[in-house]
Amino acid sequence: MKEPILIYERGCPNCRGPITDLRLGAGLVCSRCLEEAEGKQNILRLLKENDKIQNLEKVYNCEKKLEEFEKFFERITGFKLWSLQKSWAKRVFLGRSFAIVAPTGVGKTTFGLVLSAFYDGKVLIVVPTRMLGKQCEKKLNDFLKNSQISRKVLFYESKASVKRKFEEGDFDILIGTNAFLQKNFEKIIKIDFRLIFIDDVDSFLKRSKNIDNLFHLLQFKEEEIKLALKPQKTEKDWEELDRIRKKERKKILLLSSATLVPKSSRISLFRNLLGFDIQKAVTTLRNVEDFEIRVKDFEEAKRKSVEIIKKLGSGGLVFVSSLGGRKEAEEVIEFYKKEGIKAVLYEDMKLEEFKKGKNEVAVGISLITNPLVRGIDLPSVIKYAIFLEPPLFRIPLSEEISIREMFFLLTSLYPLMEEKEKTQADITYLRKYLNLREEYLEKYPRVKERVEKIKRELTSLFKNEEFLRKINATPDISLLHQEGKLFIVLGDASTYIQATGRTSRLVGNRLTLGVAFLFYTNPKYFNSLRKRLLSFFREQEIEFKEYRKEILGELKERLEEDRIYAKKVLEEKIVPEEREFLRTTLVIVESPSKAKTIASFFGKPQTRIIGESLFYEIPLEDRILSITASLGHIYDLVTHKGFFGVLVNERFVPVYDTIKICPAHKVQHTDINYFPPECRENLRDKLQIIESLSEAAFQFDEVYICTDPDAEGEKIAYDLYLSLRFFSPSIKRAEFHEVTPQSFRKALREAREINLNLVKAQLVRRISDRWVGFALSQKLWEVFDRNTLSAGRVQTPVLGWIIENYHKLKEKKARIDCEISGYRLTLELEDTKLAYQVFKELENAEIEEREEKEEVINPQPPYTTDAILKDSPFSATKTMSLLQELFEKGLITYHRTDSTRVSFAGQNVAQRYIEEKFGAEWVEKRSYFSEGAHECIRPTRPQDPDSVRLALNTGMLELEEPFNALKLYEMIFRRFIASQMKPARVKYKVVKIKLPFFQKEVSIPMKILEEGFFRIKPYLKVLREVKDFKIKPLKIYFIAKEPPFTQGTLIMRMKERGLGRPSTYAQIINTLLERGYVVEKKGKLFPTPLGIKVYNYLSRRYSQFIDEEFTRKLEEEMDKIERAEIPYQQVLKRVYWIKKIV
């Protein structure tokens, strides 16, 4: 028989009483609510029958309504509800208003109409046109014939009989246009509509008056509407809006649209009062195969494009460069006509003719404003895009340059600029005024003065021949002389993404295949485009393949298959068995930042609020994805039960409760009585997050818990899994070690069950920390009469090292800085008296030349947590915070790792960068194999610091502390790329320093024979060839034999001695500083008198618990628990011995 691992104090989903993890894992409620039962439906029924239903009553009512609705839907349509439509129905029956997020062809209107027919009470349907209104009326009446339900449908039009019925309220479902609502609002507001369905809502939202009327119809008060629209809200305002939004409402609003592009500023009402955004969830998903084709000239590009068009047939878009413009486009059309291809200029294009294939290709210009780039949406027709030249934009190097052009110029030229700080300041300044038109500059004299100054400096720079030579030497920035002027030419990434996006659209449950062919004669143009795609569209992994004409046949078949499918969906001719429609997926991560980053990989998400949680929703090819955050741990160990939160009988069973937080004092605890009375009213209880996530989980087909990939993340995942288990039968654990689209998708594909061994190991860590920490801390409070003191099984031994090191600081050794023919080196001597003599006589020392030797220098392995904390210029806490953000923004892999392992994916990232930057001959892949699931800390993409800076400067990437984060990123990037490069080979000259009483051999680097990884990470300076070696002493100084610890060297010691883990290193040092046991002076750590007193007391009385061997053994045992090698209860039993001292 299985035994419970832990108890959740308020974990029962029904009564919020205590419950074991076993019962929650089985999808049960607590035994006080219901002793035994199986299956959610059965449990809900029995709870209702026994009059014990509490929190689950909403779920019970919703399930009952859904069951009725499913039967109703199938009876009147002949189809079963798809999972996506079930999700919408659940939202409605839970009393939630919302806007439908879904691609074309998934039955939004049908759902709204059937729901209207089914819904109790009067229903209002609003449509943009009379024709649509009549169609809705006919469909509804057809549905109702099959429903065996009597519902009166009235479409309002100017007929006396219709007007009379409207006046008398002789209808159940009223259908009207936007204009009808405006004209008759005073009468409509008197009718108690329970459901309002607005189909094709875009035209409705164009008028602010419509939005105001709608919220009055939903019975919001005037003062509530004013508060929601208030420009600058106080904290109290937001709290009041939160209260208004959470109120139970009898009226439901359902909005549906294919585009959802609102214009009115009053759309904030939807978010502030109803908890959802009114905006289209714009997907940037692309299923495009990109091919590069280098040609000798434009004529060859045209000839080869004919080959492609003739093979792939109609449905093509052809683009000429903006540098060639309309004239070049017309020349291409004439060329195609001679080759027998029907081509049309973008200006002359007629959509219906193009759809029927009367024109095979349309020719446009590679400009973001060109109609073919972003104004055309024909998913059943457009298959491929051909760029006869890369999309480009040019910037004049003259006084005609605009603010926007100056901004793009500075961001691109930043790596070449000498005064980088000033350039960065100029970029930041110009970015604020990108949308300011030149003619309005006169109104802002200070802005004009600064802009003019930047313009003068740039113009002066463009006259500098040396700087122009620098530009010419770059691999990706081109100079162009045209029309008697000088321009800089850059790749236009936005145009490429938008134009190729026309070939691949999300229709039904499929992202149609598209193909793009990119011709180029100038490699610089191609390199510039590729670099800007990498910087500006980080979510788009665009890899250009080499083109071969043999692939065209296979591509054509796949392209045609997808167009047939798209046509069926759009014409609603797809048969039921082909409707493998979108499922709904909820993903839970730890932080809102990570949730937003993941959602942005796939486009611009729509947001909605459920209770305390914000959800980002976006359609993917096969699912509607909703991403939210748990905000870290939900539960923690209580303090008031058993032995410091652990019930002890024959087994040890910890008791957990939700974490409560006092926002004002930033204090958290599980026990409400821990907080002073003034805090208790404003506490934030993470139980509210559980309630929000439970409601969301109930609405979705599947839940993936994507907390961090370590034991801590596994425990959070287990808590969430158990909390949501009753509400969702399909919950999986997914983990990724880097926040990228590929890793995210892979994690969902390879999702697994919760690893209970990891959970048990984390429980042992938490309980042992609690037992040792609480027991020893309480002794300190008694002895020192200060309840702010603490002890711990890791922090106290580490404090001992600092104290031991401090006592050794009086032991000194000498260092002598000197030069041998200009090469600086340091001599280190233990004997300080001898060192002083050597320093005095060093100038007279003989330098004896000995042999020459060659050495191979291998690069360092990539960073681990301890290594980067040692090298970082910031404190351990700040470094971990910066690394966390770099990870969450998708720039680096998971940063809590003690492994140097490089995955195949990581090796490929380095290979791509090295081959493009230096050439294939510089690559030497290394895996640095080490045990463990994690790999090293590395960049996730072949994106150098300049590319990241470009993304930051242009607003494509945002970081809290960009300057500091970029410093760390550069360290990680250079060390990682170096680790995958050839070793360096260096020639050394061995010389001997000779004095009568002292001799020392040193090796001096004379020549770099093979540069290897020095190209990315310079390692040493070499001495020029010299005929006669001479030595010159510079200075002598005395240092401690064991220097004081820095935060970095202390962390290295912790790793060497096996104390702590990558996730706890920084926290341990921070605790020692906060408790006042240690101070930091000029980056060095020293114990305080208090720290020494505390340590001495603990080491005298309780040495067995602060001994590093005790902690090291415990860490080893926790590793064994993770591997299922020893029972976790056995380890807890050994640690429980500490109770004897309490």
The residues annotated as belonging to the active site are 894
Beta carbons within 8 Å of 666's beta carbon, 6+ residues apart: none
Rounded Cα distance between 7 and 2, Å, is 14
Which amino acid appears at position 445 of this protein? P
Place of tokens 């998400």: 605
Largest CA distance in the chain: 123
- Contact call for residues 876 and 1054 (beta carbons, < 8 A): no
* Pick from 155, 163, 123: nearest CA to 138: 155
Distance CA 625, CA 602 (A): 10
Parallel, antiparallel, or unpaired for β 812-820 and 823-829? antiparallel
CA distance 849 to 135: 99
Q: By C-alpha distance, which of 652, 657, 660, 661 is closest to 639?
A: 657
Residue position matching structure tokens 């229709």:
507
Structure tokens that stand for 766 in this block: 């938490």
Structure tokens given for 631:
């905000």
Residue 960 and residue 976 in contact, taking contact as beta carbons nearer than 8 Å: no
Please, are residues 635 and 712 in contact by the beta-carbon 8 Å criterion?
no
Identity (one letter) of the amino acid at 345?
A: L
**Are 702 and 713 in contact, with CB atoms under 8 Å apart?**
no
CB-based contacts of 954, cutoff 8 Å, min separation 6 = 407, 408, 411, 431, 535, 536
- φ, ψ of residue 289 to 5 degrees: the values are -95, 120
Token pair recorded at residue 265? 């500023």
C-beta separation of 1076 from 1090 below 8 A: yes
User: Which 3 state secondary structure label does DSSP give 275?
Assistant: coil
User: Which tokens in the block code for residue 1066?
Assistant: 């920084």
Q: Dihedrals φ, ψ of 634, to 5°?
A: -100, -40
CA–CA distance, 819 with 827 (Å, rounded to integer) = 10
Residues 760/46, Cβ–Cβ less than 8 Å: no
Residue 815: closest CA among 1039, 1004, 991 = 1039
Angle at 1052 between CA 1080 and CA 798, to 5 degrees: 60
Query: Taking Cα atoms as reference points, which of 398, 450, 400 lies closest to residue 428?
Result: 450
The amino acid occupying position 574 is I
Q: How many residues does the chain have?
A: 1142
> Closest by alpha carbon to 254, among 109, 77, 139?
109
Radius of gyration of the chain (CA): 35
Which pair of structure tokens corresponds to residue 933? 């699931």
